[in-house]
């Protein structure tokens, strides 16, 4: 059974799929999560605190998924390509993750800043972490790449950069069709094969030299 915090985050994600963040009301989220408004404020402190928690949770869930896909030691090029493809699919389904990875935040999304210096620390440990602010795109990308281990980190970062290029500029639709503005298609088999081919070439270049 989900905790009150998890239920509130789920309610916030559902509301955000239907309305811009500015139109999301805390009272409605409490009703949807079946908790009191006091519980909501105890967990997050404010709507801005909830926004920080929502964005941090999205980043953590993405990294957990990357770790699961790269659970085997010394992952193969095919495994790194799978991470890239999964990244494209998940970013297409989750606007907050897409914004975290690309830095392109739309008006309808929450874009929280860290809690102001000197503010009283949140009583909930998870909220104290969220209040430090969301990771920058480069920070999130580097953390994901390190999930592949030191030897494969550079290759993983390359695969993820290729994936993000697909997120930013997805494949064109078939002739005669128009792509919806918010639709992202999964990576094509050609792109996946390209990543596997590039990563099959052994490289000993340190990560800092990656363009």
Determine the Cα–Cα distance for residues 10 and 158; give it in Å rounded to an integer: 32
> How many other CB atoms sit within 10 Å of the CB of residue 161?
14
- pTM score, two decimals? 0.83
The tens digit of pLDDT for each residue in 79-90 reads: 888 899 899 989
CB 97 within 8 A of CB 62: yes
* Token pair belonging to 33: 């999560």
The confidence band for 78, taking pLDDT boundaries of 50, 70 and 90, is: confident
Give the residue from 204, 202, 171, 193 showing the smallest Cα distance to 82.
Answer: 193
What pLDDT, on the 0 to 100 scale, is given for residue 166? 83
Provide, rounded to the nearest whole percent, the portion of the chain with pLDDT above 70: 83
The confidence band for 203, taking pLDDT boundaries of 50, 70 and 90, is: very low
CB 43 within 8 A of CB 79: no
What pLDDT, on the 0 to 100 scale, is given for residue 207? 46
What pLDDT, on the 0 to 100 scale, is given for residue 30? 97
The tens digit of pLDDT for each residue in 16-52 reads: 999 999 999 999 999 999 999 999 999 999 999 999 9
The tens digit of pLDDT for each residue in 90-116 reads: 998 899 999 999 999 999 999 999 999
- Whether 155 shows a pLDDT value over 60: the answer reads yes
């Amino acid at each position: 059974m989900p905790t009150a915090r998890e239920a509130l985050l789920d309610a916030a994600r559902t509301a955000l799929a239907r309305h811009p963040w500015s139109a999301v009301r805390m009272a409605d989220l409490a009703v949807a999560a079946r908790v009191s408004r006091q519980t909501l404020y105890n967990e997050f402190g404010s709507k801005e605190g909830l926004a920080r928690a929502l964005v941090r949770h999205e980043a953590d869930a993405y990294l957990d998924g990357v770790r699961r896909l790269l659970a085997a030691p010394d992952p193969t090029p095919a495994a790194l390509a799978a991470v890239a493809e999964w990244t494209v699919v998940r970013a297409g389904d989750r606007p907050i993750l897409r914004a975290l990875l690309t830095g392109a935040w739309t008006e309808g999304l929450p874009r929280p800043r860290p809690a102001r210096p000197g503010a009283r620390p949140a009583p909930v440990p998870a909220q104290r972490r969220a209040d430090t602010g969301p990771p920058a795109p480069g920070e999130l990308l580097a953390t994901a790449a390190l999930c592949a281990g030191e030897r494969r980190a550079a290759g993983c970062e390359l695969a993820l950069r290729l994936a993000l290029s697909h997120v930013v500029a997805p494949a064109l639709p078939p002739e005669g069709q128009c792509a919806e503005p918010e639709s992202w298609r999964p990576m094509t088999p050609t792109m996946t094969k390209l990543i596997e081919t590039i990563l099959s070439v052994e490289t000993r270049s340190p990560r800092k030299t990656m363009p």
